[in-house]
Structure 1
């Protein structure tokens, strides 16, 4: 079973449920030394290493290999799933997976921080 840190669209219950059939329990967590930006010409986020920055997100535990495969396909070829450490709200360090924009594609990240609330508002208006 796998643990995954999510920082973008996979945090939305409607998205994760549509993909894997249920909304896993989410534990608040922080990914340190990474920054989250909007990907150019999209409403979607990507992350890249950036010393001193941090990203608030959700930790999903006990995901099956089948569920991880579905999420890998959703994230697509622009991202690599990498192992990292996150900090829980209680201050524990936990090893997990996270989707990171591939190094050769990081130029597609804008300088604009990605805002989950803004994404949700945009998607709500078009859906």
Structure 2
């Protein structure tokens, strides 16, 4: 069974979400579903430039009853992901609306010496095991990307309203 995609994200961009972008984030470190071209294409209509990246001291944790992960502090772990660059203001707003309020947007140091902004899981429901991207791709990606495509127009409208 697959749960709904970040149900809270379906509403308009709230002032609290808008404030998360007030620091003018630049590159976004992605470690879960946003690593997949199909998901990015469904949400943004394109796949932004990206490079492999990793964050030491963090892990992409499997979450209870969710197919997507949460980035949580883990001193002895390193999470592999991608660094998305050249995101427009509207694309940042879309991705921020997509990530629900259970995530905090924070800058994290990367093993390259650079830093990137990442959506950190700030709530409970963390499982002991790491999230498995291969399992997600095999079992959930197609349906997940299709759902992202269905909500993308609403997210884009909220993003445009937020940056006006």
Into which bin does the TM-score normalised by the smaller protein fall? Answer: 0.7 to 0.9
Cα drift, residue 124 of structure 1 = 5.0
Return the TM-score normalized by structure 1. 0.87
Instruction: Give the greater-gyration-radius structure (CA).
Output: 2
Q: Which residue of 1 aligns with 2:120?
A: 100
Cα drift, residue 45 of structure 1 = 0.4
Q: For the structure 1 residues 124 and 81, does the alpha-carbon distance in structure 2 shift closer, same or farther, using more than 3 Å as the test?
A: closer
Are the counterparts in 1 of residues 49 and 86 from structure 2 also a CA contact under 8 Å?
A: no
1:61 aligns with 2:54: no
Structure 1 residues not aligned, in runs of 5+: none
Structure holding more strand per residue: 1
> What is the CA–CA distance in structure 1 between the aligned matches of 2:142 and 2:117, rounded to whole Å?
32
1:110 aligns with 2:134: no
Q: Secondary structure at the match of 2:96?
A: helix
Superposition misfits of 4+ residues, deviation over 6 angstroms: none
Which of 75, 80, 94 pairs up with 1:70? 94
Calculate the aligned-residue CA RMSD, in Å.
1.6
Q: Secondary structure at the match of 1:62?
A: coil
Q: Deviations for 1:6-37, whole angstroms, at most 9, x for unmatched residues?
A: 00000000101111110012201111101111
Q: Which residue of 1 aligns with 2:69?
A: 45
Return the TM-score normalized by structure 2. 0.68
Cα drift, residue 125 of structure 1 = 7.1
Cα drift, residue 66 of structure 1 = 1.4
Corresponding pairs, count: 120
Q: Deviations for 1:54-79, whole angstroms, at most 9, x for unmatched residues?
A: 00000111212211111011111110
Structure 2 residues not aligned, in runs of 5+: 1-24, 147-164
Are the counterparts in 2 of residues 2 and 64 from structure 1 also a CA contact under 8 Å?
A: no
> What is the CA–CA distance in structure 2 between the aligned matches of 1:74 and 1:37, rounded to whole Å?
19
Which of 85, 89, 109 pairs up with 1:85? 109
> What is the CA–CA distance in structure 2 between the aligned matches of 1:23 and 1:67, rounded to whole Å?
11
